[in-house]
A and B are shown apart, each in its own frame.
Chain A
Amino acid sequence: MAEKIRIVHYLNQFFAQVGGEEKGGIGPGFKPGPIGPGRALQQPLAEYGEVVATFFCGDNYFAEHPQEATEELLRQMASVDPQLLIAGPAFESGRYGVACGAICQAAQERLGIQAVTGMSEENAGTALYRKLVYIIDSGSSVARMAPVLQRMVALGRKLVKGAPLGRPDEEGYFPRGIKRNSFAAKPPAERAVDMLLAKIRGEPFQSEIAPPQFQHIKPAGAIRDLSSAVIALVTDGGLVPEGNPDRMEPGRPTRFATIPVTGVNRLDPKEFDVVHSGYDTASANQDPHRLVPLDVMRELEQQGVIGKLHESIHATGGAHAAVDNATRIGEQIAQRLKSAGVTGVILTST
């Protein structure tokens, strides 16, 4: 019987059962064998493979120290002599998805092993790593953990065996931008007309071109005279007035909060809440200036470093925000600020 494929599984602190957001700052570590979802990974492997160890790292630690985390994880992984890395799946968790993409790329390049991860299409990790790493489209529902892991493991096995892969939509991974020539039944002109007719009739059709990237944004010009500039503070860390009167949602937000700050020199923690399901909000709740630097900005205004601090802080949340909603919210806030004569923005993101 062929030897079992030696697999290592990467999880964040939550799925590795170390803790929730409050443990987001822990550094890399590992436990022997499969942990948590790793058991659903081990199950379809049967006699083909074995999860020899589960590696983990806090999502915040990885985001804040990506080089150190990667070095340490690679060092630890190398010691168990793996052939395949399965990372996640991360679904919609952005920090986790970026960490999965990064550790897979590093394992491929530095350990020379195969790697597969999984996450949703809008995960930040997908945009960054789809061309470098095989990313299974997990969709957004964590309830699909088991079938997603099965797809990841099936792809991983093919990679380890050197077996030919099907098209991305057949194997379930995001297209990597690799073009492979193949013969089609109909010439391209006919296929194009078929697609157009289907589109006009409102019928489904399969485009042959990769999806568009994020639209190109031209960066604003530099501020020439800071001492006369009107600067506005914006955040996606979920700061809201106490009681959340604008009813901003803690996850998948569709709204933003407008916080008037005329005559306000300090943000009193008792007058604010932090509504954001994607990070540990304890320290921001303790001192909102850790999220929006109003105290410093007001002093700089009084000292004449900037001309004026804009009368409102605009705040929304970034937890699993749909790109469409986030774009619309950003445009709405930008429009308000432009109409009010704001010349520059400091955006603070968690």
Chain B
Amino acid sequence: MVQICTMIPVAKEVGSLRAMASGGIVSPTGNPELPPDKEKEFRRNLVMQALQILQEDVRE
């Protein structure tokens, strides 16, 4: 499991070690300030990063 979130220290504290930075509190996989096509590209990059993290071992 990879968690896309803002408060990474909180995630790690409870054992969610594959935690990565999101697009913000109200839009974890988006950025409302971008035009739609750029926002989707932003989302795609975030998801690709998440999928990459799933393929990596994590040290406890």
**Partner-B contacts on A (CB < 8 A):** 24, 59-60, 63-64, 94-95, 98, 124, 127-128, 214-224, 226, 229, 231, 234-235, 237, 279-284, 286-287, 289-293, 295-297, 299-300, 305-306, 344-350
Contacts and interface: CB of A to CB of B under 8 A. Distances in A.
Nearest to B10: A124
A290 B13 contact: no
8 contacts: A63-B6, A94-B7, A98-B7, A226-B55, A283-B32, A296-B40, A297-B47, A348-B4
Contacts of B7: 63, 94-95, 98, 124, 349
B2 A349 contact: no
Contacts of B46: 293
Given A128-B10, A226-B51, A290-B32, 18 more contacts: A94-B7, A94-B10, A127-B13, A217-B14, A217-B16, A218-B60, A222-B54, A226-B54, A280-B26, A284-B27, A290-B31, A291-B27, A344-B1, A346-B4, A347-B16, A348-B4, A349-B6, A350-B5
Interface residues of B, number: 41
Contacts of A127: 10, 13-14
Contacts of B16: 217, 347
A218 B60 CA distance: 8
Interface of B: 1-7, 9-11, 13-18, 22-32, 39-40, 43-44, 46-47, 50-51, 54-58, 60
Q: Chain A interface secondary structure, helix, strand, loop or mixed?
A: mixed
Contacts of B27: 283-284, 290-291
Nearest to B32: A283
A281 B44 contact: no
Contacts, number: 149
Nearest to B20: A346
B51 to A, nearest CB: 6
Given A219-B17, A289-B43, A296-B44, A348 B5 contact: yes
Given A223-B55, A348-B4, A290 B28 contact: yes
Contacts of A291: 27-30
